[in-house]
Copies of this chain bind each other. A is one copy, B any other.
Amino acid sequence: MASKSKIDISEYSKNFPKSKKHYTKGSSNHINVPSRVIEQSPTIIDGKKKQNNKPIYVYDTTGLYTDENYEVDILKGLRPIRENWILNRGDVVSSKRNKKIWRTKNKKNSQIDGKLKDVVVAKPNQNVSQMHYAKNGIITEEMEFAAIRENVNPNNTSINITPEFVRDEIASGRAIIPSNINHPELEPMVIGKNFLTKVNANIGNSPVKSDIEEEVDKLLWAVRWGADTVMDLSTGKNLYETRERIIRNSPVPIGTVPIYEALERVNGKPEDLDYEVFRQILIEQAEQGVDYFTIHSGVRLGYIPKTMDRLTGIVSRGGSIIAKWCLAHHKENFLYTNFDDICQIMKSYNVCFSLGDGLRPGSISDANDDAQFSELETLGELTKYSWQHDVQVMIEGPGHVPIHKIKENVIKEQEICMDAPFYTLGPLVTDIAPGYDHITSAIGAANIGSFGTSVLCYVTPKEHLGLPNKDDVKDGLIAYKIAAHAADISKGHPSAQYRDDALSKARFEFRWEDQFNLGLDPYKSRDMHDETLPQESAKVAHFCSMCGPHFCSMKITQDIRDYANKKGLEDYTVAINFGLDEKSLEFKKLGKEIYIKK
């Protein structure tokens, strides 16, 4: 038995202030879609209750951790809510794990319970990808779950995100549901330009710092602050164990970059890689339940010289591993030449491709260059090819792009990759602010999202400088939740502005507690308010620290409304007409008899 987890789960099992877990039932009892309901206080004007304010529903990525009826056990993992969905389809078989390699290399440091659960794999000649079902007209539980989840605002009857709509989007390749059949703990979600913009958080240890529990802690922290997907980018020791613990405890899709582990297996020498090593790792990770793989099949040998004159060459770790291999062997990228075989693995577990942008720019100087767009052309080819296998695909994008060059990235991706979901890192819109790249890149992310990018991979303040701690993870996530939400409003997602309007109404009515609770970070906004006005009475006061108690613009607006109610709206109509008629400047005082009826 492994030792007891040292993660303090109480931090995660407590919901946000005035918030409760809510489940919306689907067409069967097995489909229960989570959301978070935030209770509001009534509107008070002049000491009298004027109206009740409806509770507000928000998208919830926190998983069972915030379900007060669920008992969390980190060592055991989450309840496998999808298990029956998968088994009932009748197209998988049980199998022992293919785990020779990790066992041999890591037995000394293993922190995993000796009994790993068995896995499932598609029966011979079966394809368990969601795209395969979708193309065959089947609406899976995953599709229904994801559809319900998109309808955040229950009061909006104009929303039309049905399970059939989700199925159709997946069949066309415009959307994906990352959901490995070996990750039954997952709460499914859909990625695509016609859905809410999603946010990815990267975690993972590195050779200079490594601790399995710390990474699981980061996972729980990330989903608490809104991560829709999480990538485990570990490159240090205990890769298999770290990943196992992460997946078993993750309610969101987990992505990896398998070439990182492949490189560890060949002792860090890219030239010693080969497809057999890589293939073995793909299978092992698919068995563990990884939901999407970043694979750099688009870094073709012929494109490498195109990076020679760049200011910052190749900055993608995966891209540079492949480039080094290609040059060392004078051969075409083995991830390109073996793409057919990789597709076979992907469809046996429903792993999605996240086709890597190994030649993405590492500075705004290199944005939108020939190397970058050449690779994109190849990603378009590979998209077509994987769709022939009914394998789900998303496309990775930059990186570092100035504002005026952002739109071109989305237009080209949509055209070349036929609307396959776009998944970008930032992009940073300037390179002059190390320490603040969550901001430089949130600007780019909001823009690229507003043009239809489906997933925004976060950047933390530590980017380019060091390994993010929990504060950095949170700062990165909040910046990206802002960017994604701003994009959703801009692209007109029918649920998006609902939360903004509720918060603005609370703000205008001086419902301070509601203003805190409806925001992305209730704790921080409350602390900031209390820094100037700590008294509990200030939380119901009809003023704030900016103008003080004796004058308030919001209060004056209320006075104006009251005045209008008293005087009647007729006066105002006259006043409006006056305003419109009176186009030229007259420098004299006007008497009220001119335009206000008695």
- The answer to whether B505 touches A311, judged by C-beta atoms less than 8 angstroms apart, is yes
Q: Confirm or deny: A340 has a beta carbon within 8 angstroms of a beta carbon on chain B.
A: yes
Q: Are B301 and A578 in contact (CB under 8 A)?
A: yes
A481 vs B548: C-alpha distance when bound (angstroms): 30
Bound CA–CA A462/B489 (angstroms): 23
Looking at the complex, which of A4-12, A389-397, A560-568 is the stretch in contact with chain B? A560-568
Bits for A574-598, please: 1 = Cβ < 8 Å to B, else 0.
Answer: 0111111011111111111001100
Residue pair A500, B364 in contact (C-beta under 8 Å): yes
Q: Chain B residues near A311 (CB, 8 Å)?
A: 501, 504-505, 508
Residues of chain A from 530 to 560 with CB closer than 8 A to chain B in the complex: 530-533, 544-551, 553-554, 556-560
Of the residues B443, B461, B466, contact of A532 by C-beta under 8 Å: B466
Give the number of chain A interface residues (Cβ < 8 Å).
152
A25 at the interface (CB under 8 A from B): no
Q: Are A486 and B560 in contact (CB-based, < 8 A)?
A: no
Check if A105 is an interface residue, CB within 8 A of chain B.
Answer: no
Q: Judge if A134 is at the interface, Cβ distance under 8 Å.
A: no
Query: Is A270 an interface position by the 8 A CB rule?
Result: yes
CB under 8 Å from chain B, chain A span 479-493: 479, 481-483, 485-487, 489-492
Q: Of the candidates B313, B481, B589, which one forms a contact with A561 in the assembled complex, judged by CB atoms under 8 Å apart?
A: B313
Q: Indicate if the CB atoms of A467 and B556 lie closer than 8 Å.
A: no
- Closest B residue, CB atoms, query A481: B433
Q: CB of A436 within 8 A of chain B? A: yes
Q: Which of B431, B438, B446, B589 contacts A429 (CB 8 A)?
A: B446
A311 and B561 alpha carbons, distance in the complex (Å): 12
> Contacts of A527 on B, CB cut-off 8 Å?
435
Contact check, B362 vs A435: say whether CB atoms are below 8 A apart.
Answer: no
In angstroms, Cα B588 to Cα A338, docked, is: 8
Across the two chains, which residue of chain B brings its CB closest to A406? Answer: B490
| Alpha-carbon distance A530/B503, docked complex (angstroms) | 39
Q: Mark A437-464, 1 if CB is under 8 A from B, else 0.
A: 0111011001100100000000001101
**In the complex the two chains form, what is the Cα distance from A259 to B483 in whole Å?**
36
Other-chain residue from B324, B586, B590 in contact with A556 (beta carbon distance below 8 A): B324
A325-343 contact mask (Cβ, 8 Å, vs B): 1 or 0: 0010111101011111000
Q: Could you say which of B235, B404, B559, B572 contacts A548, with CB atoms under 8 Å apart?
A: B235
| Cβ-based interface call for A434 (8 A) | yes
Check A435 against B489 for contact (C-beta < 8 Å).
Answer: no
Copies of this protein in the complex:
2
* A433 partner residues in chain B, CB cutoff 8 A: 478, 481-482, 519-521
In the complex, which residues 189-239 of chain A have their Cβ closer than 8 Å to any Cβ of chain B? 206-209, 235-236
Q: Are A435 and B331 in contact (CB under 8 A)?
A: no
The reply on A97 being an interface residue by CB < 8 A is no
Residues from chain B with a CB closer than 8 A to the CB of A403 are 446-447, 450, 486-487, 489-490
Question: Cβ of A26 < 8 Å from any Cβ of B?
Answer: no
- How far is A320 from B557 in the complex, measured between Cα atoms in Å? 7
Is B553 a contact partner of A314 (Cβ separation < 8 A)? Answer: yes
A554 & B364 in contact (Cβ 8 Å cutoff): no
**Highest count of chain B CB atoms <10 Å: which of A209, A329, A330, A466:** A466
State whether the Cβ of A381 lies closer than 8 Å to any Cβ in chain B. Answer: yes
Which of A67-75, A109-117, A172-180, A302-310 lines the interface with chain B?
A302-310
Task: Tell me if A420 is interfacial: C-beta within 8 Å of chain B.
Answer: no
Cβ A545 vs Cβ B315 within 8 A: no
A236 surroundings in chain B (CB, below 8 A) = 548
User: Does A323 reach chain B (CB closer than 8 Å)?
Assistant: yes
* B461 adjacent to A528 (CB under 8 Å): yes
Within 8 A of B (CB), among A351-374: 362-365, 374
Q: Does A524 contact B (CB under 8 A)?
A: yes
* Cβ contact within 8 Å between B319 and A553: yes
Of A316, A403, A545, chain B has the most CB atoms within 10 Å of the CB of A403
CB-defined contacts of A529 to chain B, threshold 8 Å = 465-466
The minimal Cβ–Cβ distance linking A203 to chain B, given in whole angstroms, is 13
- Chain B residues whose C-beta falls within 8 Å of the C-beta of A481 in the assembled complex: 433
Nearest B residue to A462, CB-CB: B528
* Per-position binary interface string of chain A over residues 286-314, scored 1 when its CB falls under 8 Å from any chain B CB and 0 otherwise: 00000000000000111111111001111
Chain B residue numbers with a CB within 8 Å of A301 are 575, 578-579, 595
Given contacts A337-B586, A365-B497, A489-B430, contact A528 B435 (CB under 8 A): yes
Closest to A404 in B: B490
A525 shortest CB reach to chain B, Å: 4
Give every chain B residue within 8 A of A491 (Cβ-Cβ).
404
Tell me, yes or no, whether A507 is within 8 Å of chain B by CB.
yes
Check if A137 is an interface residue, CB within 8 A of chain B. no
> Residues of B contacting A531 with CB < 8 Å?
462, 466, 469
Is A254 at the interface (CB under 8 A from chain B)?
Answer: no
Known pairs A432-B500, A433-B521 / 6 extra A-B pairs, C-beta < 8 Å: A263-B551, A307-B560, A312-B507, A331-B590, A385-B585, A403-B446
Q: List 27 A-B contacts (CB under 8 A).
A: A206-B546, A208-B549, A235-B548, A303-B579, A305-B575, A313-B557, A314-B560, A315-B554, A319-B553, A337-B587, A362-B504, A362-B508, A362-B554, A363-B500, A365-B501, A400-B504, A429-B486, A431-B504, A432-B500, A433-B478, A433-B519, A435-B519, A436-B478, A443-B446, A462-B528, A464-B507, A466-B544
Closest 10 CB pairs of A and B: A302-B579, A313-B557, A330-B592, A207-B548, A363-B504, A466-B532, A305-B572, A320-B553, A403-B490, A320-B556
